[in-house]
Chain A
Amino acid sequence: EVQLVESGGGLVKPGGSLRLSCAASGFIFSNTWMIWVRQAPGKGLEWVAHIETKTNGGTTSYAAPVKGRFTISRDDSKNTLYLQMNSLDTEDTGVYHCAAGMGDSWGQGTLVTVSS
């Protein structure tokens, strides 16, 4: 059974940092490109970042609002995806989901609240 479990969310002040993790199981993680998607309270889904497999170069890409502040990475030896978030703003508040491939499977999400 495919499982994605996010962790690392919490309350942080504007300008602060957080690192989210996504533990994957039930599929060949190293062969799967991954994405982060967020959802602000009462709002729609927003694509945040993408990372390719190491075989395909491990390239990364970011949505314009987070480019330069967020970094997506992966550790295939630990079957874990990460999202390092710096210079956080209140607009970054929301539930952050990791997903495998084109959203074949999703985690339940972890809540990030940016507030003073």
Chain B
Amino acid sequence: QSALTQPASVSGSPGQSITISCTGTSSDVGTYNVVSWYQQHSDKAPKLMIYEASKRPSGVSSRFSGSKSGNTASLTISGLQAEDEADYYCCSYAGSSTFVFGTGTKVTVL
């Protein structure tokens, strides 16, 4: 099972919007709506930001939104803030009770 493909880095100025892509295949992202996004600050545990491709857990800012089209899922951060600077990972169900993570994206707030 190959890792889902994410851009290594994405940057933006405070207040801007950025989008992180997560490209898989018809065996994972393309077939299942079980796609999650996680935020990980340096040396911290990951935090769930989006589940089932577009749902936001309670307590997560509405500035975070998710979508999916075909084999690609996306995470958009609107109104970028300094605290959003972190690593972001997508994860998809891949059938037969297996999962696959993305390669990870480092978000930098300029």
Binding site for B on A (CB under 8 A): 35, 37, 44-47, 50, 52, 59-61, 63-64, 97, 99, 102-109
Contact = CB atoms under 8 A, between A and B. Distances in A.
Contacts of B64: none
Given A45-B91, A63-B1, A97-B46, A102 B97 contact: no
Nearest to B87: A44
A37 to B, nearest CB: 8
Looking at A45, A63, A97, the one whose CB has the most chain B CB atoms below 10 A away is: A45
Interface in B76-105: 87, 89, 91, 96-104
A35 B34 CA distance: 15
B99 to A, nearest CB: 4
B23 interface: no
A54 B90 CA distance: 28
Nearest to B93: A102
13 contacts: A44-B104, A45-B46, A47-B98, A50-B98, A61-B96, A61-B98, A63-B1, A97-B45, A102-B34, A102-B36, A103-B48, A103-B91, A106-B46
Nearest to B99: A47
Interface size class of B (residues with CB under 8 A): 20 to 34
Interface of B: 1, 3, 34, 36, 38, 40, 44-48, 51, 57, 87, 89, 91, 96-104
A5 B3 CA distance: 27
Contacts of A102: 34, 36, 48, 51, 91
Given A35-B99, A37-B101, 10 more contacts: A44-B89, A44-B101, A44-B102, A45-B91, A47-B98, A63-B98, A64-B1, A103-B36, A104-B51, A106-B47
A108 B3 CA distance: 23
Contacts of B96: 61
Contacts of A63: 1, 98
A103 B36 CA distance: 8
B95 to A, nearest CB: 10
A64 B98 CA distance: 10
Given A44-B3, A45-B101, A106 B45 contact: yes
